[in-house]
Structure 1
Amino acid sequence: MASGAVLLVGCSYGSPTGDEPSQAREFTFVAPGGQTRIFYDAPAQRGAVAGLSGESLLEPGATVGVEDFPGQVVVLNIWGAWCGLCREDMPGLQQIHEQMQPSGVTLLGIDIRDDADAARDFMSDRGITYPSIFDNPARSLTALGGFPRNTVPSTIVLDRQHRVAAVFLTAVRVSELLPVVQRIAAEPADAPVAGAASSTPSGSTPGAGAPAEGTG
């Protein structure tokens, strides 16, 4: 059973055949019962994200997505230039992107319900260089298995096998997010996939991504 902060949150591990697959099963978001920070600490209990891609905001006509970063920790951030909390979040996300790139970490934004020109100006004015998907109707979020499209900003940390390791359904400070990213980046690249151990979602680990006071 999940504990504390993740009592009502987990990955759906159903298999159409009832067999245990040898690779990570797809992530399915389950309503968190009011919690805004969810952690899947055990790698074997995480669900994978696949096929999350869309038009590049910074390179119109090109496509960018999670699969462009094999073997990397990918920090997804759902944002919009119209969102005040996003404006507060993004300089810190840029800081994490620059600091953690040598460790195989990248930021990938998902810009929703936005005007492309306004969003590009927004990024340019703030010196934001990490890539973003431009997805006005938020269709790319279907790859996150029922993730709420109206929760902006949100940040999802994927491990090196692109399984969901942490979810923040709120603005998040660098002081809270960076230790979580560092911990996930330090995990062995061959950490077991779902099905290799218990499929019960884990709770948050004290001292390793526990909720901090305040947001933004």
Structure 2
Amino acid sequence: MNIPSGCGSPTRRSIIAGLVAVASVGLAACAVPDSLAQQAAAGDNKNYIAGDGSVEEYAEESRDAPVALNAKLYDGTPVSSSDWSGTVTVLNFWYAACAPCRVEAPHLEALYQEFTTQGVLFYGINVRDEKPTAEAFERTFGVTYPSVEDKDGKVLLAMTRFVPPQAVPTTLVLDKEGRVAARILGGLDKSTLKALITSTLNA
């Protein structure tokens, strides 16, 4: 039997290489992209799974019961959701090492300054940091509204209906009855949050 020039009996190495290539193609064909899984496996040590920036606004008739929480600011001042009755309140879940939190901090401060004369309350809910770290962040980004210390996760636990544990930042707008009227899951767009606050104020 004549073997054409350039051909030969396949070696063990070439057979194995071929099988690996086929297997790799098969796996790639079956893989379904999963952005959260990709973030978790990225190995970049960011320690958060970012939201996708999605915005949800809840019609009045579909809103849940008023938020019920009690906590303390970093200076020890007690904060209770019962004190927010009759006001629109913005809650922003954050921590200092969260990159999107750094990007949106100036926007939140600007909106706080714009809406404070209309009685809108702003509170940060810091889910991770000790007081010195949180205060350093506030100095760096000029944040003047107060933040709740929530390292024990009590506030986050009370809000899991709207705030997935690792989706930081998340921003909630509460209506005058203390119900969640809108949510931004992930980094916020300033104009979008402004529109949500205005809509809730005017409802």
> Gapped runs of 5+ residues in structure 2?
1-51
2:67 aligned with 1:50? yes
2:171 touches 2:184 (CA, 8 Å); kept in 1?
A: yes
Q: Is the 8 A contact 1:49 1:162 kept in 2?
A: yes
Alignment of 1:113-152 (within 5 A): 113-146=128-161, 147-152=163-168
Distance 2:77 2:100 in 1: 28
Kindly provide the CA deviation profile for residues 126-177 of structure 1, in whole angstroms up to 9, marking residues without a partner as x. 2211111111132212222443111100001111111111111110121111
3-state DSSP of counterpart to 2:192? helix
Corresponding position of 1:161: 177
Higher relative contact order (CA 8 A, sep 6+): 1
Which position in structure 2 is the counterpart of 1:80? 95
Cα distance, 1:184 vs structure 2 = 0.7
CA–CA separation in structure 1 for the residues paired with 2:83 and 2:140:
26
Aligned to 1:177: 193
Normalized against structure 1, the TM-score is what? 0.65
Q: Are the counterparts in 2 of residues 56 and 133 from structure 1 also a CA contact under 8 Å?
A: yes
For 1:1-216, what aligned pairs fall within 5 Å after superposition?
Answer: 36-40=54-58, 42-57=59-74, 59=75, 61-146=76-161, 147-187=163-203
Counterpart residue identity of residue 165, structure 2: R
Gaps of 5+ in 1: 1-33, 188-216
Match of residue 17 from structure 1? none
Percent of aligned positions that are identical:
33
Deviates more, 1:81-90 or 1:135-144: 135-144
What is the match of residue 22 of structure 1? none
Larger-Rg structure: 2
The TM-score normalised by the length of structure 2 is 0.69
Contact kept? 1:75, 1:157, Cα under 8 Å: yes
C-alpha spacing 1:130/1:65, structure 2 compared with 1 (3 Å): farther
SS of structure 1 residue aligned to 2:166 = coil
| 2:53/2:187 contact within 8 Å kept | no
What CA RMSD, in Å, does the superposition of the two structures yield over aligned residues? 1.7
Q: Number of paired residues?
A: 151
1:2-52 Cα distance to aligned partner (Å, 9 max, x none): xxxxxxxxxxxxxxxxxxxxxxxxxxxxxxxx8832210x21211133332
Name segments (4+ residues, structure 1) moved above 3 Å: none
Query: In the aligned structure 1, how far is the partner of 2:53 from the partner of 2:168?
Result: 15
Whole-angstrom distance in 2 between the partners of 1:35 and 1:83:
15
Contact 1:49 1:143 in 2 (8 A): no
Structure 2 CA distance, aligned partners of 1:43 and 1:99?
25
